[in-house]
Structure 1
Amino acid sequence: MKFLKQTASIFLILILLYSCNDSDSSSNTEAATLSVKLVDDPGDYQNVFVEIVDVKIKYDSDDFDEDNEQGWESVGIINPGIYDLLELTGGTNLELVNNETIETGFIKQIRLILGDNNSVLLEGESETRPLSTPSAQQSGLKVMINQNIVSGYNYDFILDFDVDESIVMAGNSGNINLKPVLRASLEVNSGTIAGIVQPSTLPVAVVATNGDFSTTTYTNDLGEFVISGLPEGFYTLTVIPEETLMLDAIVIENIEVNIGTTTSLDPIIFE
């Protein structure tokens, strides 16, 4: 009888251990992860400093209201701080969120939360000017993403900060306003164009156009550029040197972009 009781006890412990392991495994498979990167669609400035403090998401619900401030969930960011958006060129991006666990469901919106320490250095000036944030933007900028989140997947979002459209001169007051304009894309649902411009010392803008869609980047110190978050299709690439160089732009047509892949171009050479 004593042997039977000991056997039953061991059997019960094994069942409990299996149940716990099975429960942990089940909870892991129900999770999804989120990554968010920031890139720059540049403007004609020396520096644009923006304080980034948080990233939030908002799920769809029965009482979903786009203007309702309730229901936002912080996913945190790796390193809150002040960043120069114009350094995000040549394939450089700012990793805001890296594989943070999130719930499954349908995410309607993502929001980039900015602090108050934002400034700009205009061309030809030596001191930065403060960027004022209108009250409507102080709670952060909302971007519609409408993405279903499925367990077991990592969702990599690219936020393209359009500097040129985001900085607004306020009439004759001398004030400069920051009204952030962002474009969000899911990396797995988009493609990339990458290349190099020679000589690498040339200051060059690179514009990718597909119908009404257009996005811009600059080469880095090595002459490299990367344009991410592109919808699938055929693109025209226009490589534009600085006006003072008196060089004609180079236009490359019918560049095919496929989802989830990088289209690498041959070196683009100015002679």
Structure 2
Amino acid sequence: MKITRLFPLACAALLGLASCSKDSDGNSSKLEVRLMDAPGDFRSVVLDVRQIEVHLKEEKDPDGWKNLGFTPQAINVLEYVNGRSALLVSEDFAPGDLKEIRLILGPDSYVIGTDGQRYDLKTPSGQTSGVKLKLDKATLRERQTYQLLLDFDVAKSIVERGNWRPGNDKKERYLLKPVIRVVAQDLRAGIRGTVTPAAARPQVLAIRSTILGPDTVSTSADASGAYLLTDLAAGTYRVEFFPSTTAPVGQPAYRTAVRTGVVVTNDQITDLGAVSVQ
């Protein structure tokens, strides 16, 4: 079965699926960058992320940096705790080794304290040279999805100035000194199952909500009704089944079926069993 990834928000109906699929080089890889957080003693921690880059050559080669397809945005990292993560980048990428990843931060990062007050975060290095994170043995292979999970530690990353007192300038209370652990891994999760009747030959969509909008992976059930979606990131999906044929005369009409709350875990295949579209 051929698996394609679809542009977010582009496919509203079955008739649009063929024109919405994104073609890519059969030898390319897919790179994902995700962000998650360890909880901290704040109501909100908002990072002003302007750019994300990866380094493809030796460490001191200034020409080795490649800008990733990331839309600048403010991200409240406290929304991504307890296993939740924000998808920041998902793009086709040439196979090869990655040496480093760098986040360029803007001047508008801030926290909301437990007192409900906003305090700007000063980022001494993040605004200029960027927050650089070294990667150990990060190799993208052909036709595989590779994920860089940035685990942001709020408690260690936000430092309160020792001489700050209530009544002082709120902009001077906290410094942002990012402490981020990188987890690099091939994505080998998936969803499988069967659709009845097999003659419906449905299109199968697995949809996951992300910070970039819906991320959709699709395939088609084969002649026996079986399907397999691979290279999925861990998370919770809505799986939709769209019949591509009409039922024979005298039989109940085929209909769209939906399964919600499908939990996918990395390195495991989630089996949905049999799903009826009649």
Instruction: Give the TM-score, by structure 2 length.
Output: 0.53
| Partners of 1:157 and 1:184 within 8 A in 2 | yes
In 2, the alpha carbon distance for the partners of 1:166 and 1:178 equals 6
Aligned CA distance change for structure 1 residues 101 and 147 (closer, same or farther; 3 Å): same
Q: What is the DSSP-based 3-state SS (H/G/I as helix, E as strand, rest coil) of the residue aligned with 1:83? A: strand
Residues of 2 paired with 1:102 and 1:48: CA distance?
31
Task: For 1:69 and 1:48, locate their aligned partners in 2 and report how far apart those are by CA, in whole Å.
Answer: 32
1:161 equivalent among 127, 152, 159: 152
Aligned to 1:186: 184
Counterpart of 1:129, as a letter, is Y
1:190-269 correspondence to structure 2 within 5 Å:
260-261=267-268
Cα distance in structure 1, aligned partners of 2:186 and 2:93 = 18
Runs of 4+ in 1 over 6 A off after TM superposition: none
Per the alignment, residue 25 of structure 2 pairs with: 28
**How big is each residue's C-alpha offset from its partner over 1:82-128, in whole Å with a ceiling of 9 and x where there is no partner?**
12111112332211012x122222111111222111011222x2220
Shift of 1:261: 4.5
How many Å separate the matches in 2 of 1:96 and 1:135? Answer: 21
CA distance in 2, matches of 1:261, 1:152: 18
Q: Any residues of structure 2 matched to 1:75-90 within 5 Å, and which?
A: 75-77=68-70, 79-90=71-82
Contact 2:96 2:139 in 1 (8 A): yes
Which residue of structure 1 lines up, in the alignment, with residue 59 of structure 2?
Answer: 65
State the alpha-carbon separation in 2 of the partners of residues 51 and 135 from structure 1. Answer: 13
Deviations 1:229-270 (A, max 9, x none): xxxxxxxxxxxxxxxxxxxxxxxxxxxxx97249xxxxxxxx
Q: Gapped runs of 5+ residues in structure 1?
A: 1-24, 192-227, 229-257, 263-271
Say if 2:134 is the partner of 1:144: yes
Shift of 1:171: 2.5
Q: Which has the higher helix share?
A: 1
Shift of 1:152: 1.4
Gapped runs of 5+ residues in structure 2? 1-22, 165-171, 190-233, 235-264, 270-278
Tell me the alpha carbon deviations over residues 169-224 of structure 1, each in whole angstroms, 9 at most, x when there is no partner: 12214531111111111243899xxxxxxxxxxxxxxxxxxxxxxxxxxxxxxxxx
Secondary structure of 1:29's counterpart equals coil
Question: Size of the alignment, in residue pairs?
Answer: 166
Aligned 8 A contact 1:43 1:163 in 2:
yes
* Percent identity over paired residues: 32
SS at match of 1:96: strand
TM-score (norm 1): 0.54
Aligned to 1:40, which of 34, 37, 43? 37
| 1:223 counterpart residue number | none
- C-alpha separation in 1, matches of 2:182 and 2:268: 18
Q: 1:126 to 1:259 in 2, by over 3 A?
A: closer
The structure 1 residue matched to 2:118, chosen from 84, 104, 128, is 128
Q: Is the 8 A contact 1:88 1:94 kept in 2?
A: yes
Which of 173, 191, 199 is 1:175 aligned to? 173
Q: Distance in 2 between matches of 1:110 and 1:126?
A: 33
Correspondence for 2:85 = 93
Measured in 1, the distance between the counterparts of 2:40 and 2:267 equals: 27
Q: For residue 108 of structure 1, what is the amino acid of its counterpart?
A: K
1:3 maps to none
